[in-house]
Amino acid sequence: AVDQYIVNYRTSYQGLAWNEVTDTYARLGSLAGLATSVSPGNGNLPVQSKMRGCVLKTDGTVNYYLNAYDWTYKEDGTASTLTGADGNVMVQIPAFYIKYEKFGNWHAWYISLYPLTGYTLHPAFTKDGVNVAYRYIGAYEGVLYDNSASIYANGLYLPADTVAFTAGTKTIAISGTFPTNAFTALAAGDKIKITGTTNNNATFTVATIGDKSITVTETVADETANAAVIQNERDFTATTGDKLCSVSGKVPISYLTRANSRVLAANVGAGWRQLDYDLVNALEWLILTEYGTFYIQNIAEVGPGITAIAGWDKYSNNNPFAPSGNGNALGNATADNAGNAAAGTEKAKYSKYRGIENFYGHIYKWVDGINVNNNVPYVTNNAANWADNTSTNYTATGVTLAGSDGYASTLVNSSRVMLPSAVLGNASTYLTDYYYQSTGWRVAAFGGFAGDGADAVAWCWSLDYGSGAAHRNFGARLAF
């Protein structure tokens, strides 16, 4: 009876141990003895196998679940609507319990669906002070809903360049040297805002799209402006402004601060937020215990994602180029069809981890609920307390991160912080992903971008930007 109890106990948790010196792994619990660097399959993964795609209503309830093998269908086999009319497309993650140990050179991570002795509920599932049965992460990178125009908009931000306006044809054309595909991410009906001109500082409605020119429905004045800025219309007003959404078929929003994306996500409604630190950490636990390695970019099933694009600057001036939903036909699967190619080819590609599209790569995603000051992280999962450049109402993690940039080689001793204490690795050893840091107060971005190459993937963190930073290769992701 005692032996059977031990067997039953071991089958109720899954774990992984990693030696930070020898860079070797050993599976634990019900996965003991199984190969690493490969998924052991859903039958051996009681937590990960319960992740699934769904469409979430504004009140946070599930409108319907999606077909596990093809999201263009609902679970019942009828056609789904992934473009926003039925709600935001999300991936549901079940609550799970964790235990972390450090003994000698070994780190060990254990997960379970059950509150076993010594285990605690992962912090991601204590949301705003309340324990929840599920968390939801946007299935896609964040898309802007333009509230004033009542449309889901394609993201665009073109910095100052020479732009010619032709009144007779209502044409707006970039005449500078790049980018070659300045406008191809847009669609008819998108709203663009132009500044930096003498006579054409206004908002226009896109009519037709060419590579480096568009026509609009409104009147323009003949002019060549040498420093015109063109961006999609966006309104960061709390409550009444635009919204951050997770819908299919649109290029994600970028060039916004973390605080901007915080407002957009909260504008969706009660309980909605942008991607939070604890949720990213939970997914890192799930990926690590599933694949038994940090080096997931070397696994064909998972892969590097959209991280090795050549000529991105000349293609779209480092604007996002891959629309959401490229992987819809794969359902809840983990898959990667991205490769080292030009942006024009890769714009039809994707990576997916259990339905989460471009979790890493393509563009960095801002992460809230974590502030870093002089390499000391402070965290909270209560969105009411989220603010930049402060530790007030945040939890001090009690650890200090590596004080220089590089490939992470060792981790701090913490269950809540899977971040490096040293950076002596490379692109194929130890954590295999890059870590960026700086002194002073810093905000967090995750996952790397399309031009990062080997630096990116699921343990790539940028903790080196101030709260006012906004970049064309930085976006956001919705969560609930």
pLDDT tens for 232-244 read: 999 999 999 999 9
Q: In this predicted structure, what is the pLDDT of residue 5?
A: 43
Q: Which of 292-296, 309-313, 373-377, 468-472 is the least confident region? A: 309-313
Q: In this predicted structure, what is the pLDDT of residue 1?
A: 45
Q: In this predicted structure, what is the pLDDT of residue 10?
A: 62
User: Which of 432, 459, 435, 463 minimizes the C-alpha distance to 447?
Assistant: 459
Average pLDDT in the 205-226 region? 96
| Average pLDDT along the chain | 95
pTM of the model: 0.96
Q: In this predicted structure, what is the pLDDT of residue 344?
A: 87
Average pLDDT in the 114-140 region? 98
**Considering the chain, what percentage of its residues have pLDDT values greater than 90?**
92
Q: Are 91 and 333 in contact (CB under 8 A)?
A: no
Give the pLDDT band of residue 8 (cuts 50, 70, 90): low
Q: Which helix (H) or strand (E) holds 242?
A: none
Q: Cis bond leading into 179, ω under 30°?
A: yes
d(C-alpha 272, C-alpha 236), whole Å:
16
Q: In this predicted structure, what is the pLDDT of residue 283?
A: 98
User: Which of 271, 274, 242, 55 minimizes the C-alpha distance to 144?
Assistant: 242
For 313, phi then psi, to 5°, come to: -65, -40
Is pLDDT at 254 greater than 50 in this prediction?
yes
Average pLDDT in the 286-304 region? 95
Give the pLDDT band of residue 156 (cuts 50, 70, 90): very high
DSSP 266: H
Average pLDDT in the 397-406 region? 96
First-residue to last-residue Cα distance in the chain? 43
Average pLDDT in the 195-206 region? 98
Give the pLDDT band of residue 41 (cuts 50, 70, 90): very high
CB neighbour burial string for 390-403, b if at least 16 within 10 angstroms, e if fewer: ebeebbebebebbe
User: Which of residues 278 and 341 earns the better pLDDT score?
Assistant: 278
Q: What is the DSSP string of 391-431?
A: -TT-EE-S----SS-EE--EE-S-SS---EEE---BTTBTT
Q: How many CB atoms neighbour CB 99 within 10 A?
A: 17
d(C-alpha 89, C-alpha 267), whole Å:
17
Give the pLDDT band of residue 342 (cuts 50, 70, 90): confident
- Amino acid identity of residue 215, one-letter, is T
d(C-alpha 89, C-alpha 478), whole Å:
10
User: Which of residues 346 and 200 earns the better pLDDT score?
Assistant: 200
Interstrand relation of 52-56 and 126-127 (parallel, antiparallel or unpaired): unpaired
Look up residue 78 and give its two tokens: 């009828």
Is pLDDT at 401 greater than 90 in this prediction?
yes
Q: How many CB atoms neighbour CB 149 within 10 A?
A: 16
CB neighbour burial string for 353-369, b if at least 16 within 10 angstroms, e if fewer: bbbbbbbbbbbbbbbbb
CB neighbour burial string for 188-214, b if at least 16 within 10 angstroms, e if fewer: eebbbebebbeebeeebebeebeebbb
Is pLDDT at 220 greater than 60 in this prediction?
yes
Give pairs for 199-204: CB < 8 Å, separation 24+. Answer: 199/165, 199/223, 200/165, 200/172, 200/225, 200/228, 203/233, 204/172
CB neighbour burial string for 32-55, b if at least 16 within 10 angstroms, e if fewer: eeeebeebbeeebbbbbebbbbbb
d(C-alpha 60, C-alpha 130), whole Å:
15
Is pLDDT at 22 greater than 50 in this prediction?
yes
Average pLDDT in the 156-185 region? 91
Q: Are 410 and 436 in contact (CB under 8 A)?
A: no
Interstrand relation of 474-475 and 364-373 (parallel, antiparallel or unpaired): parallel
User: Which of 433, 435, 441, 434 minimizes the C-alpha distance to 465?
Assistant: 441
Give the pLDDT band of residue 371 (cuts 50, 70, 90): very high
Look up residue 356 and give its two tokens: 């989460």
User: Which of 124, 431, 436 minimizes the C-alpha distance to 283?
Assistant: 124
Q: In this predicted structure, what is the pLDDT of residue 379?
A: 98
Q: In this predicted structure, what is the pLDDT of residue 143?
A: 98
Give CA angle at 303 (335, 472), nearest 5°.
Answer: 95
Give the pLDDT band of residue 336 (cuts 50, 70, 90): very high
d(C-alpha 310, C-alpha 389), whole Å:
35
Q: In this predicted structure, what is the pLDDT of residue 9?
A: 59
Q: In this predicted structure, what is the pLDDT of residue 3?
A: 46
Is pLDDT at 137 greater than 80 in this prediction?
yes
